[in-house]
Chains A and B, each alone.
Chain A
């Protein structure tokens, strides 16, 4: 039998070989170098601890074994994250957004930015972000999971807005602020102000109870779920809702099911509807564009009907509190780069929907005449926020004029994905644009 310490020593060497072996593949949405360095640093630290741990200290050895096991698991998952299994233009924008939320608040911040890797799993409901709550060496590593079969279903990917909410909650400094300014406000006056209130509500509504530890756990988790829903809506915008409804309605069409980890969907719909009404996105007063009004109504009307049928005991959160929490969260998100969703200009959105309905991507280079005497023309590639593309995508899905044979849901998704890629090309071009030196050798 291998003694535990000897086993771990050997395993550290195995992991070193494994880590080197991963370099055979191009993995990660960014270069493999950063992952390699971070994992190597973790391995070096663990190896050093294994060298000095007392053979008789089995508790410490067990802790080290868990950490080595976790590192091995992380390396294997990273190795398997191929960009060919997911929509990488979408992965890049999600990564940018999540980075804004959880960037370390220290000097030389970019060197300590968390690392994100994306992996695809089977199943329809596997959207997840697994954040490390603290850095095990220098940088935290986050795993973003997409359903493999949804490679190009970018319209559904907006559900990741909810998961980024969990990322924010995993970031200790931010969590306290979010708890105090948003979650507590959101749930004020609801059954979720204490575990005993939650227990009473469960008894009254479902005639069910949870035991001590399970109750405490559910209390914490449910609160976070409501927060993450609101967070998802505010960072992803209107396209969060149809994705949310599509997935959750399939899981639980009545919306009354609850678990120790998630509150009943009905109560979450009700909260989101209140937030939507407050934000004014649903009515969008004064907008009568041909390609906006009808699909807006078609998209939101079923949700309004659904929410209006929700019984009073499931309308748990006070609309006024939802309003206050929404405002507070908007203020926090404004600090985080472009994380907060801003509604587009109606003309712009109408143009995007029209492009998609014509079977072309949303990015449409305009060629305009210069102002003044010069007759030269110039190009205009107005930047388009990916969330506006997705909003337009959902409106195209709900548009009466969509020829469902020619412009399938899959094609709209792919056109939106292509649009995000085009925007990335435009941004890359603008960011690195340099005037080229004049050359005498000109050829076409």
Chain B
């Protein structure tokens, strides 16, 4: 699995095999990566919204409960270009990239922070693999590891993506992700396919074998 060089990245884009747009300046393309810019939205964890992250909250049966848990967890902010968004120390923000990306089925992406921002305390969290065949914006999990707030502006280059060959092509059934064709960041489903391990009904402490709620 080799890292794809800038020459091949450009070729893939030129040949229409990979979509990555908009690219605003050539400096955005590095030797083995392309810089990604901050998009125009941020989901900030609302301190008063929930007491703690509880996997059980993701699997409530009624639509109101599940949706409310996910919606109330975050405050959603939209901001235009040249408008400031402050990331406070210790806070987590889900933000989209400005760029839309569509990968071929034989290329995966790896997203990391840009070192200049990392030195200011801005961390791009670790869920950084982009599956082959992915199509959509990329969600970045930003956190401020410093002691002072960081002002961010939509359009700034804050992350970078490197590409790797995948051989043979990823099969469709594995390539699809729960976030395929994402237009904006949203909370994922942390209990998907893991429900067997979650005691959903702690109220009466009864365990019902073989039955999923």
Q: Spell out A's residues near B (CB within 8 Å).
A: 29, 83-84, 88, 92, 358-361, 363-367, 377-379, 381, 411, 414, 418, 421-422, 424-426, 428-429, 432, 443-444
Residues 54-97 of B at the A interface (beta carbon under 8 Å) = 76-82
A363 to B19, CA, bound (A): 10
Which residues of chain B come closer than 8 Å to A381, judged between CB atoms? 22-24
Q: Are B25 and A379 in contact (CB under 8 A)?
A: yes
Query: Cα distance A361–B20 when bound, in Å?
Result: 10
Interface 0/1 of B1-45, CB less than 8 Å to A: 000000000100110000111111110001001000100100000
B116 within 8 A of A: yes
Q: Given A377-B10, A443-B115, decide whether A422 and B102 contact each other with a Cβ distance below 8 A.
A: no
B22/A422 in contact, CB under 8 A? yes
B115 touches A422 (CB 8 A): no
A411: which B residues are within 8 A, CB to CB?
181
B interface, CB within 8 angstroms of A: 10, 13-14, 19-26, 30, 33, 37, 40, 76-82, 98, 100, 102, 114-116, 119, 135, 154-155, 160, 181, 183
Partner of A379, one of B23, B78, B81: B23
Bound complex: CA A29 to CA B116 (Å): 32
A347 to chain B, nearest CB (A): 15
B-side contacts of A359, CB under 8 Å: 102, 135, 181
Q: Which 5 interchain pairs have the tightest Cβ spacing?
A: A365-B23, A428-B81, A365-B21, A429-B24, A360-B19
Are A360 and B114 in contact, with the CB atoms below 8 A? no
CA distance A435 to B160 in the complex (A): 22
Interface contact A367-B40, CB-CB below 8 Å: no
Q: Is the interface of B mostly helix, strand, loop or mixed?
A: mixed
The answer to whether B24 touches A379 (Cβ under 8 A) is yes
Contacts A363-B22, A379-B24, A418-B183; A84 near B78 (Cβ below 8 A): yes
* Complex interface: chain A residues within 8 A of B80 (CB): 29, 83, 88, 92, 424
**Does A426 contact B22, Cβ atoms closer than 8 Å?**
yes
Rounded to whole angstroms, the CA-CA distance of A361 and B98 in the bound complex is: 12
Residue of chain B at shortest CB distance from A152: B183
Are B160's CB and A444's CB within 8 A? yes
Q: A365-B23, A381-B24, A418-B183 are in contact. Are A444 and B115 (CB under 8 A)?
A: yes
Cα distance A425–B100 when bound, in Å? 13
Contact yes or no, B102 A428, CB < 8 A: no
Q: Which residues of B contact A379 (CB under 8 A)?
A: 23-26
* Chain A contacts for B13, CB-based, 8 A: 365, 367
Q: Is the CB of B22 within 8 A of A378?
A: no
- The residues of B that contact A377 with a CB separation of less than 8 Å are 10, 26
Q: Which of B26, B33, B100, B116 contacts A378 (CB 8 A)?
A: B26
A423 to chain B, nearest CB (A): 8
How far is A422 from B37 in the complex, measured between Cα atoms in Å? 12
Closest beta carbon of chain B to A377's beta carbon, Å: 6
How far apart sit A364 and B23, CA to CA, in the bound complex (Å)? 9
Question: Of B21, B26, B114, which contacts A363 at CB under 8 A?
Answer: B21
B102: which A residues are within 8 A, CB to CB? 358-360
For the A-B complex with A360-B100, A381-B24, A444-B30 known, give 17 more contacts whose Cβ atoms are closer than 8 Å: A29-B80, A92-B80, A358-B19, A360-B21, A360-B102, A363-B21, A363-B22, A364-B21, A365-B23, A379-B26, A421-B40, A422-B100, A425-B154, A426-B22, A426-B24, A444-B116, A444-B160
Q: Give the complex CA separation of A389 and B118 in angstroms.
A: 37
Residue of B nearest to A87 (CB): B78
Residue numbers in B under 8 Å from A363 (CB-CB): 21-22
Chain A contacts of B114 at CB under 8 A?
444
User: Do A367 and B14 contact each other (CB < 8 Å), given the known contacts A359-B135, A444-B30?
Assistant: yes
Q: With the chains together, A364 CA to B37 CA distance in Å?
A: 16
Q: Which of A88, A358, A363, A421 has the most CB of B within 10 A?
A: A421
List A contacts of B115 (CB < 8 A): 443-444
The answer to whether B76 and A84 have CB atoms under 8 Å apart is yes
Report whether B155 and A360 are in contact in the complex, using a CB–CB cutoff of 8 Å.
no
Closest to B102 in A: A360
Compute how far the CA of A165 lies from the CA of B155 in the bound complex, rounded to whole angstroms. 34
Closest beta carbon of chain B to A80's beta carbon, Å: 15
B22 proximity list for chain A (CB < 8 A): 363, 365, 381, 422, 425-426
Closest Cβ of chain A to B177, distance in Å, is 15
Q: How far is the CB of A30 from chain B (nearest CB, A)?
A: 9
- Whether B19 and A425, one on each chain, are in contact in the complex, defined by CB atoms closer than 8 angstroms, is no
In the assembled complex, the Cα of A83 lies from the Cα of B81 at a distance in Å of 13
**Please, which residue of chain B has its CB at the minimum distance from the CB of A411?**
B181
Interchain Cβ contacts under 8 Å between A and B, 9 examples? A29-B80, A358-B102, A364-B19, A381-B23, A425-B81, A426-B24, A443-B116, A444-B30, A444-B160
